[in-house]
Copies of this chain bind each other. A is one copy, B any other.
Amino acid sequence: MSTIVDTARDRMRSAKDAARTVGLLSDAAKRDALLAVAEAIGACADRIIAANVDDLDHGRANGLSTALQDRLRLDAARVAALADAVRDIAALPDPVGRVLDERTLPSGVRLQKVSVPFGVVGAIYEARPNVTVDITALALRSGNSVVLRGGSAAQRTNAVLVDAIRTALDSAGIDARAVQSVDDFGRDGARELMHARGLVDVLVPRGSAQLIETVVTESSVPVIETGAGIVHIVLDASAPLEWARDIVVNAKVQRPSVCNAVETVLVHRDAAPRLVGPVVAALQQAGVTVHGDESVASLADDVVPATDDDWAIEHLSLDLSMRVVDDLDGALAHIRRYSTHHTESIITTDDANAERFLAEVDSAVVMANASTRFTDGGEFGFGAEVGISTQKLHARGPMGLAELTSTKWLARGAGQVRA
């Protein structure tokens, strides 16, 4: 079913052609296709792992960091997990065809606003082969074609994965041109993707802050910005010690490398003598290095002096910045300056302060008395996560399948004209 293609644009055109039929598939057809994809990934495990070993060898020879090698690595268990993730996505309800608004005009014309696929979803990401499978499954479940540009470090692995997926689609009677990779065009592939207005409907970058920044700045295709999280927790004057300690430790330690992990804790001056010592001790016991300002350092042992940079970086590690602020206004001003508008939480028993924080903080998710780790599509009950949007257009916060759809107004009349 695949055609001979020559350029990145040709492949995008093929994806767009295929989107016409993929967008009209029934719920059952999409589900069955994804179950076939899951089977195929399982059945190709050996081939996938062999390609992955090649990628890893190549990476090591080219000085790929150990952390990136770990992200890149697929073993039998990880391949099985990839297939399971596709099955989970297959089991989700169809996001297409929901009636979101309905009204009858005075003239009798009946209007419906329905959810429809975007058409073609582009993805630019780094050395994580799981994104190849995830984003493809999410795009297909929502009736979209997908054009993939993964990192060159995972190129061999991705090629085998895409091949397996396309073969499975073909067997399921689905136009396999719906899944395209432009990995083999290198940076040109990424560039073409960023400028494919009219062919690609939305572009989702996933990866480092730098990659996202590049895509947002360069792309003329609409982008959904995801990811970077300089996440704050404020310990208000009334913060109960137990909540403060448990939430800060959970938010930092449970998975320090992800975007919803806390980076900076701001402590109300009145609560500092009561909270800083035990919270820092609990963090240190969990292996965290605390970077603190002078007030923090005066209230706890083994605090590394914080520099101005500490407030502005996403550690993504067992490091945490801590600062004492004069009051809630001081905390809000710090957050306005340094937040990436991902998630912030306040720990307080003062309802007025909680509500003020919820109203005034301009972030995708604003919490009172909960761990920032809850900012997650799975935790929110979406069943899958496309990413966490930190922009305000179209989607904000954890994105599920619904965020991979657009809308269309349908109007049904009987000859009406406008008066």
Contact = CB atoms under 8 A, between A and B. Distances in A.
Interface of A: 20, 24, 103, 105, 107, 109, 111, 116, 118-119, 197, 201-202, 216-217, 220, 222-224, 240, 242-243, 246-247, 249-251, 254, 345, 354, 358-360, 362-371, 373-375, 379-381, 391-394, 396-397, 406-418
29 contacts: A20-B360, A105-B380, A107-B370, A109-B370, A111-B380, A116-B362, A119-B362, A201-B392, A224-B393, A240-B415, A247-B416, A250-B417, A254-B417, A364-B408, A365-B410, A369-B413, A370-B411, A370-B417, A371-B417, A373-B418, A374-B411, A374-B418, A380-B409, A393-B394, A393-B406, A396-B406, A396-B407, A396-B408, A397-B409
B216 A370 contact: no
Identify whether the interface residues of A are mostly helix, strand, loop, or mixed. mixed
A411 B346 CA distance: 10
Given A246-B415, A354-B412, A365-B410, 9 more contacts: A20-B360, A107-B370, A111-B380, A222-B222, A251-B417, A366-B408, A367-B411, A369-B414, A370-B411
A287 to B, nearest CB: 17
Nearest to A251: B417
B412 A371 contact: no
Contact of A202 (B109, B250, B363, B392): B392
Nearest to A201: B392
Contacts of A249: 417
